[in-house]
Structure 1
Amino acid sequence: MSRKLVKSTRNSVVAGVCGGIANYFNIDPVLPRLGFAIATVVGVGSPILIYVVAALVMPKDELEF
């Protein structure tokens, strides 16, 4: 069975992107959220734009338990 990167419906705070990334890598959802927050404060790249694009592109997972 292949893994797919999808937005999480269970671990969603804003759009489910960080929860989906956490499910894909099998880590705690706090870690991607913290990474996005730190990158936003420090000003590395454009994390808000990356998050918005990921929220628009990633499919939603309806079969998550």
Structure 2
Amino acid sequence: MKKLYRSRKDSKLFGLCGGLAELLNVDSTLLRVVFLVTAFFTEGTLIPIYFIACLVIPKEPAFEPFYDPAYGYSSGARSTGRSPAYPRPQQESPLASTPDPQPNIDEMMRDVEKKALQKEIEQLRAKLAQLEKGDKEL
């Protein structure tokens, strides 16, 4: 079930009619016209109700995380029925059992980090040796 929010993308004043139109799945312009006609015939009693509703109803979140049990949370997809940006696996591919010719990215990253740490240790040792020489000369 969808929640009622004030719309971020279809907002003329506060986004209330846009959010209500999205919830009811109707055109927001039609809903605005109905609101104005109703406000005219009720002698303006609908206008304070509109402002109170704007204070009570929260603004639409910037994004809603989409949870797919196969992939986990995705921060970009919204829960409006659209599928996530990545395809869902249908079945095991016969090519999936063959090993990937490219090396594992995790092993490559560990190797790069190890080399960077070794280089940093060598630089620190050189600085320490310079400081020790400076202390001996004093």
User: In which range does the TM-score fall when normalised by the shorter chain?
Assistant: 0.7 to 0.9
Gap runs ≥5 in structure 2: 65-77, 79-138
Which piece of structure 1 moves more, 37-46 or 27-36? Answer: 37-46
| Alpha-carbon distance between aligned partners in 2 of 1:11 and 1:42, rounded to the nearest angstrom | 25
How high is the TM-score relative to the length of structure 2? 0.42
Q: Mark the structure with the bigger radius of gyration.
A: 2
Q: What CA deviation, in whole Å up to 9, does each residue of 1:11-60 have, x standing for no partner?
A: 00000000000000111001221111001222267110111011101111
Q: Let me know the Cα RMSD of the aligned residues.
A: 1.9
More strand by share: 2
Higher relative contact order (CA 8 A, sep 6+): 1
Q: After the TM superposition, which of the residue ranges 31-40 and 13-22 deviates more from structure 2? A: 31-40
Identity level (%): 38
Give the TM-score normalised by structure 1: 0.85
Aligned residue-pair number: 64
Structure 1 residue ranges (4+ consecutive) displaced by more than 6 angstroms after TM superposition: none
Unpaired runs of 5+ residues, structure 1, are: none
